[in-house]
Amino acid sequence: MAATSIKKLLKTRNLKATELRMALLEIMSNLGKAVSYQEIQNSLTNFDRITLYRTLNTFIKRGILHKIIFEDHQSFYALCSMDCTTDRHQHQHVHFQCNQCKEVSCLEAKEPIQLAISNHFVDEIEITASGLCQECNK
Ligand SMILES: [Zn+2]
Ligand SMILES: [Zn+2]
Ligand SMILES: [Zn+2]
């Protein structure tokens, strides 16, 4: 994402384009995949950890990023699509972690994911899957 697009995105979410916000979104969009918290922290060493953590949470609240937590409690962050808004995330995808290279990706399901549970209104579905990614499965 170019700096101008990042600025525009922040503006639509009523956020000021601070140096950290810009840097964080640039990294996320350049990598184009889900990034672990560790990886983000390592790329932004010149920023304070607490501020970084707060910025990530702000982005989640504003529908810019979403967080993925796996069983081993490692957290990953991924950019949202434009369908996500300030009040609502709209995800219809599966979070896949490769058992071999440990990369995490957001995979669109071929068909809309629907889950019916009696007497409950399902608003969000979190699905994590594991196996071998395209690269490792060659
Ligand atoms: Zn989202
Ligand atoms: Zn892999
Ligand atoms: Zn995702």
CATH assignment of 3-131, given 3.30.420.40, 3.40.1280.10, 1.10.10.10, 1.20.140.10?
1.10.10.10
Q: Rounded to two decimals, what is the model's pTM?
A: 0.87
Q: How many angstroms separate the alpha carbon of residue 90 from the centre of ligand 1? A: 6
What separation in Å is there between the alpha carbon of 62 and the centre of ligand 1?
9
Is pLDDT above 80 for 71? no
Whose atoms come closest to the Cα of 135: which ligand?
2
Q: Where are the domains of the chain?
A: 3-131
Least-confidence region, from 27-31, 36-40, 117-121: 117-121
50 Cα–ligand 3 center, Å = 24
Closest ligand (CA of 129): 3
Percent of the chain with pLDDT over 90: 67
By C-alpha distance, which of 56, 20, 37, 26 is closest to 104? 37
Which ligand ends up closest to the CA of 96? 3
C-alpha 107/C-alpha 59 separation (Å) is 21
Q: What pLDDT, in 10s, does the model give residues 78-126? A: 999 888 988 888 887 899 999 999 999 999 878 877 777 888 887 777 8
